[in-house]
Amino acid sequence: MSGKLKVAVLFGGQSSEYSVSLHSAGSALRAMPDDYEVYTFGITSDGHWYQYEGSVDAIEHDHWREGKVCPATLSLDPGDHGFLVRRNGNTELIKVDVLFPILHGIHGEDGTVQAAAELAGIPCVGCGMTSSAICMDKEYTHLVVEAAGVKMAKWFCVREEEKEDPDMLYEKAEAMFGMPCIIKPCNAGSSYGVTKAKDRESFKEGLVDAFRYDRKLIVEEFVNGFEVGCAVLGKVHPILGEPDEIEISTDIFDFTEKYNLITSKIHVPARISTAMKEKVYDSVRKVYRALDCEGMARVDSFVVGEEVYLNEVNTIPGFTSASRYPSMMKAIGYEFTDVIRLLVNDALGR
């Protein structure tokens, strides 16, 4: 019997960020500590779970289902403390010590997997069910954080039944904060469905695009500043990474720019003063606490003059070795493998 810590890594998932998860998981698997016994479980885009035994390359290139896979499911019986795998006509129980979901978007980052882990009695890396669900839904994030006194852009939520009257919604936005404004799905990541609307026509087009990804969306005031992010790790006394800064030459930091950086740049550390860095840290701590986050999150904000405005919170941020979260942690002395070990220990210690 192996005395190594048994870590189950989940990748893939049913969200529009399926491909992002494959790359995040690939990088994380390459950086796993040698003293972990790692099991990998893939979730297809249509929701089927498999234990996967094969190369990391096949995960990153989405060929993993062509390798050695067996149907699997997470057992919700806490006595099992693991996965039931169907292999050669038999059901095998694989016990694990900790669950490490590297899943982005719905059915992975929104509290569903976290709830299953709680039922199964298995420690889970990252935020718990409630904070994951609240952070994933931008309406609820706005409501909670606003109540905590954190500065945010003016906003309102639009539900699916309201989309039949786009002119009314446009006039509401005009009256509240004018154009341009930002339209985004409440439950989506990687800038899918995000539009900077400048007039009535682009506003209507933005509504249509956002509703492709969710049944409700946020319309918010355009904040004329620059974006900074901050990696957070832990719970009671969380570690704050070195803030980064996104420099863009387009209207928004969209999917293409996020993952290719064609015209955009990410600066670590952010090009801000020491005083502004402390303001960012103060805001991040307040947001993280208000949302009851634990484990990890990336808190994204806008710096506007001398003020800090919250943008959004990502509870399972991009996790490749070049992604923003690991880069911010590296800037304060933690290599990728160190970050993984800290996250796993945090989950086990709760």
Q: Are residues 177 and 312 in the same domain?
A: no
DSSP state string for 101-163 = E---STTTTSSHHHHHHHHHT--BSS--HHHHHHHHSHHHHHHHHHHTT--B--EEEEEGGGT
pLDDT surpasses 50 at 133: yes
Same domain, 138 and 266: yes
One domain, residues 139 and 256: yes
Residues 97 and 147 in one domain: no
For residues 54-82, give the mean pLDDT.
Answer: 97
In a shared domain, residues 188 and 216: yes
- Is pLDDT at 316 greater than 90 in this prediction? yes
Q: What is the CATH number of the domain that holds 45?
A: 3.40.50.20
Condensed to tens digits (0 to 9), the pLDDT of residues 184-242 reads: 999 876 578 899 999 999 999 999 999 999 999 999 999 999 999 999 999 989 999 99
Residue 50 lies in a domain: yes
Residues 276 and 140 both lie in one domain: yes
Q: How many domains does the chain have?
A: 3
Q: Reply yes or no: is the peptide bond before residue 166 cis, omega within 30 of 0.
A: no
Closest to 29 (Cα-Cα) out of 73, 71, 59: 59
Q: What is the pLDDT of residues 261-308, one digit of tens each?
A: 556 799 999 999 999 999 999 999 999 999 999 999 999 999 999 999
Return the CA Rg of the chain.
Answer: 20
**CATH for 301:** 3.30.470.20
Residue 129 lies inside a defined structural domain of this protein: no
Same domain, 275 and 216: no
Residue 65 in any domain: the answer is yes
- Quickly tell me which residue has 């990890």 as its tokens: 296
The domain of 307 spans 134-151+224-348
List the one residue out of 259, 238, 253, 246 whose CA is nearest residue 319.
Answer: 259
For residue 256, pLDDT beyond 90:
no
- Helices and strands (H and E) in the chain: how many: 11, 17
The residue among 275, 286, 332 whose CA lies nearest residue 309 is 286
Residue that is written with structure tokens 């998932």 in the block = 13
Whether 173 and 261 map to the same domain: the answer is no
Residues 190 and 253 both lie in one domain: no
Statement: residue 43 has pLDDT above 70 = yes
Per-residue pLDDT at 3: 84
Asked whether residue 142 falls in the same domain as residue 265, the answer is yes
Instruction: State which of 195, 221, 247 marks the end of a domain.
Output: 221
Q: Per the domain annotation, does 46 fall within a domain?
A: yes
Question: Is residue 195 a contact partner of residue 182, using CB atoms and an 8 Å limit?
Answer: yes
